[in-house]
Amino acid sequence: MKKKPTEKDSIESSIHTDFKNTMTYGEYLNLDQILSSQNRLSDHHDEMLFIIIHQVSELWMKLILHELKGAIEAIKENELSTAFKMLSRVSRTQTQIIQAWDVLSTLTPSEYMEFRESLGQASGFQSYQYRMIEFALGYKTSHVLTIYEKDKALHDKLSAAYHEPGIYDVAIRALAKAGLPIDEAVLNRNVTGTYQQNESVKEAWLTIYQDVEKYWDLYELAEKLVDIEDCLQQWRFRHMKTVERIIGFKRGTGGSSGVGYLKKVLDHRFFPELWDIRTEL
Q: Answer for the pair 62, 70: CB distance below 8 angstroms, yes or no.
A: no
Q: Looking only at Cα atoms, what is the longest distance across the chain?
A: 87
> What integer is the mean pLDDT of 1-30?
76
State residue 114's pLDDT score: 94
Beta-carbon contacts of residue 165 (< 8 Å; ≥ 6 apart): 72, 191
Angle between helices 128-136 and 152-162 (to 10 degrees): 20
Selection from 220, 218, 240, 233 nearest residue 272 by Cα: 233
**Residues annotated within a binding site for substrate:** 50-54, 112, 116, 253
> What integer is the mean pLDDT of 112-121?
92
10 Å CB burial of residue 176 (0-12, 13-18, 19+) is middle
Torsion, Cα of 45, 48, 50, 56 (10° steps): -160
Neighbours of 137 (CB within 10 A): 20
Q: Assign 7 a pLDDT band (cuts: 50, 70, 90).
A: low
Q: Give the chain's mean pLDDT.
A: 93
Q: Assign 17 a pLDDT band (cuts: 50, 70, 90).
A: confident
State residue 9's pLDDT score: 57
Selection from 176, 271, 166, 178 nearest residue 224 by Cα: 271
State residue 125's pLDDT score: 84
- 44 pLDDT more than 80: yes
Identity of the residue numbered 133: I
What length is written for the chain? 281
pTM of the model: 0.91
Identity of the residue numbered 182: I
Beta-carbon contacts of residue 132 (< 8 Å; ≥ 6 apart): 65, 158, 161
**Residues annotated within a binding site for heme:** 239
pLDDT, tens digit, 9 for 90 and up, residues 143-182: 889 999 999 999 999 999 999 999 999 999 999 999 999 9
Neighbours of 212 (CB within 10 A): 12
> What integer is the mean pLDDT of 188-192?
96
How do the domains of the chain map onto residue ranges? 45-113+124-279
- 242 pLDDT more than 80: yes
Architecture field, domain 45-113+124-279: Up-down Bundle (1.20)
**What span, in angstroms and rounded, lies between the C-alpha atoms of 57 and 65?**
12
- What is the three-state SS of 216-274? HHHHHHHHHHHHHHHHHHHHHHHHHHHHHHHHCCCCCCCCCCCHHHHHHHCCCCCCHHH
**Residues annotated within a binding site:** 50-54, 112, 116, 239, 253
pLDDT, tens digit, 9 for 90 and up, residues 83-113: 999 999 999 999 999 999 999 999 999 999 9
Q: Assign 202 a pLDDT band (cuts: 50, 70, 90).
A: very high
State residue 94's pLDDT score: 98
State residue 81's pLDDT score: 96
**What span, in angstroms and rounded, lies between the C-alpha atoms of 227 and 48?**
32
State residue 39's pLDDT score: 96
Identity of the residue numbered 150: K
State residue 257's pLDDT score: 79
